[in-house]
Amino acid sequence: MINIEDQIASLIETYQEEVIQLSDRIWDIPETRFQEYESFKILSNFLERKGFKVERGVGDIETAFTATYGDGGPVIGILGEFDALSGLSQRAGSPVREPLIENGNGHGCGHNLLGTAGIAAALALKDLIKEGIVKGTIKYFGCPGEEGGSGKTYMVRDGVFEGIDAALTWHPNSYSGIFSFSSLANYQVYFSFEGKAAHAANSPHLGRSALDAVELMNVGVNYLREHIISEAKVHYAITNSGGASPNVVQSDAEVLYLIRAPHLKDVESIYQRVVKIAEGAALMTGTKMTVKFDKACSNYIPNHALNVVVNEKLQYFGLPTYNEEEMAYAKAMAATITAEEVEAAVIDAEKLSAYTVSEGFYSEESPFFTEIIPYVKNREVMQGSTDVGDVSWIVPTAQFFTTCFVAGTPLHTWQLVSQGKTTLAHKGLLNAGKVIAASAVELFDNPHLIDEAKKELLKQVGDGYKNPLPADLRPSAI
């Protein structure tokens, strides 16, 4: 008798051409945060045609949606993303930097894969529910604006995830393993300065330079770095330098800050100090300073009870295998990845596994990592952020990685964009769909596992969750 994992694999294989076409279509139209109008339309319409009940514009976000099938509990959520990054346009399958559009957008984090793997899983689960093999409800969440927008944090604030019992998601990577890290919480905030224009040579004393204020603020924050916790990170970008004329005192300037730390209380503390520095810069330059909150997200809370379930399915389906043509392309791409980038990925794998990954995990003879990272519960913190964090504070959540790219391919690079529309990536997304679907079935069939996951979450957070977004803040595409 065929087991459920093999049945799921067979179901997903029947949908694989449709799913791959969806992924490639999303890759072809890379749209950035909260501007994913075409991607949103393609994915939500597809699921509606497949018999899901689709609700659009959830969380007061135009490009967010849910797609539901089934009746009664348990209710399992699948998180999907589909936003791209600016400046990463790249020709698919090319082993050299080759933008399709100069300074255009590109799927440099593989969200064209992330969202469609979840859809593959949802399709298989729909068939199993329809046939009476499993009982419950599957709910797919189309989540926009993960990159720099914290779309899920808005959706959590507005109650979109209420009523689900567990959430499953994944992320494309150059290795496979359970996402057992926590992550960094963050605030992203604009600081704008308003001064007074003047002739920079004839009457500079009449001017008040907003650009001076931005520069002084940046200097002050750079001195602050020595006096904050070592786990925190502070990044900035000057978004308005006041113009291109050096003979005019710049009357307006703006800088965007991203403040990260392991916990929101640390982010808030550092943020308040940054505000004081900005106020000081305004005082020194005789300018007016305005603070505009852009977005925020909480740290991710791994759920061990769910991770055990997902890890079992990840191990069952194993790593993708490749033909000669795929290996030849992979070796060409691997030649573009530096030894330092591979080493950084190996270090991540070691941390994920609490240093139990084997010495054979990476060999220079292969363009791919050769083993699934062993799952070990740990307390490491990923040096990055994800808006899945806010979901994990209110619903037991598990996420994992599957191999979609050659070893060491860094996220947010042209190399990842290049591989994102190849059969290497397609095999990874189909594998991820199988893992999600099989994990969901395990939870449907064994609701006591969901109870364990909920008890674990309650022990971790109690009633301590507070959404980090101001109540009146709305998503912005800028």
pLDDT in tens, 301-322: 999 999 999 999 999 999 999 9
CA torsion 253→184→26→372, rounded to 10°? Answer: 150
pLDDT band at residue 169 under the 50/70/90 scheme:
very high
State the helix-helix crossing angle for 447-461 and 304-317, rounded to 10 degrees: 130
Look at residue 1 in the predicted model and tell me its pLDDT. 60
Assess whether pLDDT exceeds 90 at residue 228: yes
What is the C-alpha separation between 292 and 273, in angstroms, rounded? 16
What is the dotted CATH code of the domain comprising 185-296?
3.30.70.360
Residue 450's closest CA among 458, 434, 133? 458
Look up residue 117 and give its amino acid.
A
Q: Do 472 and 29 touch, CB atoms closer than 8 A?
A: no
263-276: burial string, b at 16+ Cβ within 10 Å, e else: bbebbebbbebbee
39-76 b/e (C-beta count within 10 Å ≥ 16 → b): bbebbbebbeebebebebebbebbbbbbbbbbeeebbb
pLDDT in tens, 418-459: 999 999 999 999 999 999 999 999 999 999 999 999 999 999
| Edge-first strand listing for the sheet containing 397-403 | 53-56, 65-70, 137-143, 75-81, 166-173, 397-403, 177-178
The C-alpha atoms of residue 155 and residue 59 are separated, in whole angstroms, by 5
Residue 122, pLDDT > 70, answer: yes
Mean pLDDT value across residues 18-40:
98
Residues 182-195 have pLDDT tens digits of 999 999 999 999 99
| pLDDT confidence of residue 249 | 96
Predicted local distance difference test score (pLDDT) of residue 342: 96
Q: How is residue 233 written in tokens?
A: 């990170």
Answering whether pTM is above 0.85, one says yes
Q: Do domains 4-183+299-461 and 185-296 have the same CATH topology?
A: no
How does DSSP classify residue 202?
A: T
Q: Residue 232: phi, psi to the nearest 5?
A: -80, 155
Report CA Rg, the chain: 23
- Tell me which residue of 87, 124, 127 sits closest to 107, measured CA to CA: 87
Confidence band (pLDDT; 50, 70, 90) for 200?
very high
Tens digits of residue pLDDT in 308-359: 999 999 999 999 999 999 999 999 999 999 999 999 999 999 999 988 998 8
Section 73-97 average pLDDT: 97
pLDDT at 384: 86
Q: Which H helix or E strand runs over 437?
A: helix 423-445
Show me where the domains of the chain are located. 4-183+299-461, 185-296
Distance between CA 368 and CA 346 in Å, rounded?
12
Contact 423, 326 (CB under 8 A): yes
Interatomic CA distance for residues 323 and 321, integer angstroms = 7
Q: What is the pLDDT of residues 138-154, one digit of tens each?
A: 999 999 999 989 999 99
- Domain 4-183+299-461: CATH superfamily is Zn peptidases (3.40.630.10)
Mean pLDDT, all residues of the chain: 96
Among candidate residues 382, 399, 400, 380, the one with its CA nearest the CA of residue 319: 400
pLDDT at 379: 83
